[in-house]
Amino acid sequence: MILSIASGKGGTGKTTVAVNLAISLEDVQLLDCDVEEPNANIFVKADLKRIETIYREVPDFDLEKCNLCGACADFCAYNAIAVTSKKLIFFPELCHSCGGCGLVCRENAIRWRRKEIGEIYRGCKDGIEIYQGKLKVGESIPIPVIRRMKELIDRSKNVIIDSPPGAGCPFIESVKGSDFCLLVTEPTPFGLYDLKIAVEVVRKLKVPFGVVVNKDGGGYKEVDLFCRSEGIPILLRIPHSEEIARLYSLGVPFSSQKRRWKEEFERLFESIEDLR
């Protein structure tokens, strides 16, 4: 089963849930798709090795042939090319690799080359096979890295995807195609508001989903009411606890210290299997 862990808002405990679930199960593949801020291995502590480099195609300009007409710069929707009266300057980090400049160039001055945009690391620790995607500094388009990470999925395993926060393209790319999505929220008006946005997106993707309420116990009932009225199952509640927060601050998954919680996460997984 492929299970993605997501949240509309950062800081709700997405990585906490992903990691605790991973250490509570057997035969796990954990994919950290939050390629801008890959934090899962702070908790898993596996020895990571780079296994792959991700590339994309960018134009290579033959300045002998180029007559500085400026057609490519005018066409580029991302302002990745500037043409002055003396020189053409290309800014590869802004390029989306759409291929448009090559089409509009009348001098046939554009060829293609590969540019490194990210890396994938792999490590194993206590039965968890962790993959970490990492976007290169200066790159702004994480999608190809996430896409490649997802090709490494071994469907015979319990696959857990730690998705990037927000509700934008990286979130969609990570969650797309999952068998189930767990949305992690906290019982505050902030948490609820961001949960509603995430719910809208996950519904559009037609991925079945449920909710984990983290830092529970403040007496705010609206998240529960919202889930009930929308028919969304709340599958786990993690109480607000100083002990859990302290363990988090040290980079320790709390269920590794508390037997009861390991069982809770096992049960969470079973209830997801039942729901499918």
Q: Which residues bind another protein (CB under 8 A)?
A: 8-12, 15, 36-37, 39, 42, 73, 75, 77-80, 82-87, 89, 91, 93-94, 96-100, 103-104, 135, 137-140, 142, 165-169, 172, 188-190, 193-194, 197, 200-201, 204, 218-220, 242, 245-246, 248-251
In the complex, least distance from residue 26 CB atom to another protein, rounded to whole angstroms: 27
* Closer by beta carbon to another protein, 52 or else 57: 57
Per the document, the length of the chain is: 276
* Closer by beta carbon to another protein, 6 or else 25: 6
Name residue 67's amino acid: N
* Closer by beta carbon to another protein, 22 or else 272: 22
Residue 236 φ/ψ, nearest 5 degrees = -160, 145
Separation between Cα atoms, residue 202 and residue 184, nearest integer Å:
13
Q: Which residues contact 125 (CB under 8 A, 6 or more apart)?
A: 44, 45, 46, 47
The token pair at 195 is 């949960």
In the complex, least distance from residue 40 CB atom to another protein, rounded to whole angstroms: 10
Q: State the CB neighbour count (10 A cutoff) for residue 259.
A: 9
In the complex, least distance from residue 273 CB atom to another protein, rounded to whole angstroms: 28
In the complex, least distance from residue 170 CB atom to another protein, rounded to whole angstroms: 8
* Closer by beta carbon to another protein, 243 or else 273: 243
* Closer by beta carbon to another protein, 10 or else 127: 10
Distance from chain centroid for Cα 140: 14
Q: Which residues contact 146 (CB under 8 A, 6 or more apart)?
A: 33, 35, 133, 164, 170, 173, 174
